[in-house]
Amino acid sequence: MFRMTPIVKNLLIINVVMFVIPFFILPIIHSSGLLAEIAIRQFDQYFGLHFFLSDRFIPTQILTYAFLHQDFNHLLYNMIGLVMIGPLLESVLGPKKFLWYYLGTGIGAGIIFSLVQAIDIVPFVSHARAMLDHGFDPADLRLLYHEFDANGTQFLSVLDDFENFPNEEFTRQRATDLVRSLMKAKTEQHLLMGASGSVFGLLFGLTYMYPNREVTLFFIPIPIRLVVIVGIFVAIEIYSGFRNSANDHVSHATHIGGVLIGFLIMRFWKIKSRYY
């Protein structure tokens, strides 16, 4: 029989409350629809995880991001994972260790997400800062613009004017402002929210302890060992991460990060697998 454990229950409540505040409470406070939309965005911007070079980054975001969700489905899927896996792991680890494990995998997943983003963002920011410090010509600016992978055309007039009049003070100032705008946009391109890193960590933790335990998934009517399920999930996440589809808005690095940090925590605690 299913039993809700204390830490899982409290984590569930916190996640739901953090979801309710921007989507229901703030819109009531702000009677205007426009003000409500602004309030929701500001809430996400403050508590969601920004890249560490962004002006919006706050160190506490490395924890608070894991209690925010973009919409109801995002919340629902993560909370289903929490209440299905969490009580089993909490019963084995105990409340204190379970809480540290949950928070640790969430924080670690956020850090790994940022490190993966740094592979793309840091060289771009370094390039932009070098241009601002040492000067640049129209070819440098156009190259930076294409590195940003800009889809809009709002900056094309600045590029054209700078190419036609590179020595004019006005066009050079606009070009400099464009470099700063692109650098700011690049560092704020991704905002991480959601408990999925911790949920993947929970799934791995249970699998680490009971790799041969068989479960039946609702869409596959035969028992499958947990180690096989996790192996398939990790393979899919790695493949999807490298595929990097333009329409894929899932943070695969966060999921893999939750698994990796979960493994490191289990090894640090010297917890042994139970092959039964």
Domain boundaries, the chain: 6-117+191-268, 118-187
* Region at 189 (left for phi over 0; alpha for psi -120 to 50; beta for the rest): alpha
**Nearest CA to 91 among 215, 247, 206?**
206
6-117+191-268: in CATH 1.20.1540.10 = yes
| Residue 154 burial (CB count, 10 A) | 9
* pTM reported for the whole predicted model: 0.86
Question: Which pLDDT does position 189 carry in this prediction?
Answer: 86
CB 109 within 8 A of CB 255: yes
Question: Which pLDDT does position 103 carry in this prediction?
Answer: 97
Question: Which pLDDT does position 151 carry in this prediction?
Answer: 55
Bridge-partner residues for 215, per DSSP? 224
Phi, psi of 202 (to 5 degrees): -65, -45
| Residue 58 burial (CB count, 10 A) | 13
Cα–Cα distance, 268 to 262 (Å, whole number): 10
Question: Which pLDDT does position 1 carry in this prediction?
Answer: 44
- pLDDT tens per residue across all 276 residues of the chain: 457 899 999 999 999 999 988 777 666 656 555 556 666 677 888 899 999 999 999 999 999 999 999 889 999 999 999 998 999 999 999 999 999 999 999 999 999 999 999 999 999 999 999 999 999 998 998 888 888 865 556 678 888 888 888 888 999 999 999 999 999 989 998 899 999 999 999 999 999 998 888 776 655 677 778 888 888 888 888 777 677 655 656 788 899 999 999 999 999 998 887 765
Cα–Cα distance, 65 to 99 (Å, whole number): 16
Question: Which pLDDT does position 247 carry in this prediction?
Answer: 61
Cα–Cα distance, 202 to 206 (Å, whole number): 6
**Nearest CA to 57 among 128, 144, 121, 149?**
121
